[in-house]
């Protein structure tokens, strides 16, 4: 299946429903962020290997998480475990010229490849940081939104700290996706079970 056909299917199933997120999926094609040996499968709705035991996530799952996150123009967003850089550019398209996206990746080779792909796509409101020894990127906190694309064993306190008050984090914890909102009085969360992710490196 062609990638854009897959996007259309996700729209028809109402997995994708927000206009800005749909526009990002259509503009930032998955195949531009895949290794050559799997690029022909860009339109398949399943994870694809990108090396070092990591994957480019299933498009259904990425769409589901972005719809929970509801990123908006002008926001500063942290993309943890950005892997191939695809989620980073999707977010960059949504936040636009007045926003900024910081992708973090612990594997040096993957971070380098993601950086090259973002440069090739002429994306100037996003960057990739190689972060082998820290969780997230506290140097630029607080963040309006945080997206995490690997499964934690428990909610990382370091990422909660980096989230702005009123901000939203979408993160897999074990086999569920959680939407976490940081309020003045604490955290509000919603759980969506039944997902599988590579582990979040700590």
Write out the catalytic residue numbers. 57
Task: Supply φ then ψ for residue 73, to 5 degrees.
Answer: -55, 140
Of the candidates 63, 70, 76, 122, which has an alpha carbon nearest to the alpha carbon of residue 103?
A: 76
Element (H, E) at 128: strand 126-130
How many angstroms separate the CA atoms of 161 and 167, rounded? 11
Of the candidates 124, 60, 117, which has an alpha carbon nearest to the alpha carbon of residue 83?
A: 117
How many angstroms separate the CA atoms of 22 and 5, rounded? 13
Q: Is the peptide bond before 142 cis (omega within 30 degrees of 0)?
A: yes
In this structure, the number of other CB atoms found within 10 A of the CB of residue 18 comes to 16
Q: What's the length of the chain? A: 202
How many angstroms separate the CA atoms of 71 and 59, rounded? 17
């Amino acid at each position: 299946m062609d990638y854009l056909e897959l996007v259309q299917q996700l729209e028809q199933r109402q997995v994708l429903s927000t206009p800005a997120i749909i526009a990002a999926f259509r503009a930032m094609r998955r195949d531009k962020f895949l290794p050559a040996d799997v690029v022909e499968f860009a339109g398949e709705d399943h994870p694809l290997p990108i090396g070092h035991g990591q994957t480019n996530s299933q498009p259904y799952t990425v769409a589901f998480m972005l719809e929970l996150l509801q990123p908006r123009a002008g926001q500063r967003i942290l993309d943890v475990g950005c892997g191939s850089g695809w989620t980073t550019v999707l977010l960059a398209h949504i936040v636009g010229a007045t926003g900024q996206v910081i992708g973090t990746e612990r594997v040096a080779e993957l971070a380098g490849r993601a950086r090259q792909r973002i440069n090739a796509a002429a994306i100037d409101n996003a960057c990739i940081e190689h972060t082998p020894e820290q969780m997230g990127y506290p140097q630029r906190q607080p963040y309006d939104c945080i997206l995490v694309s690997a499964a934690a064993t428990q909610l990382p306190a370091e990422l909660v700290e980096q989230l702005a008050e009123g901000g939203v984090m979408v993160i897999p914890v074990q086999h569920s996706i959680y939407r976490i909102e940081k309020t003045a009085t604490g955290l509000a969360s919603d759980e969506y079970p039944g997902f599988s992710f590579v582990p979040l490196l700590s």
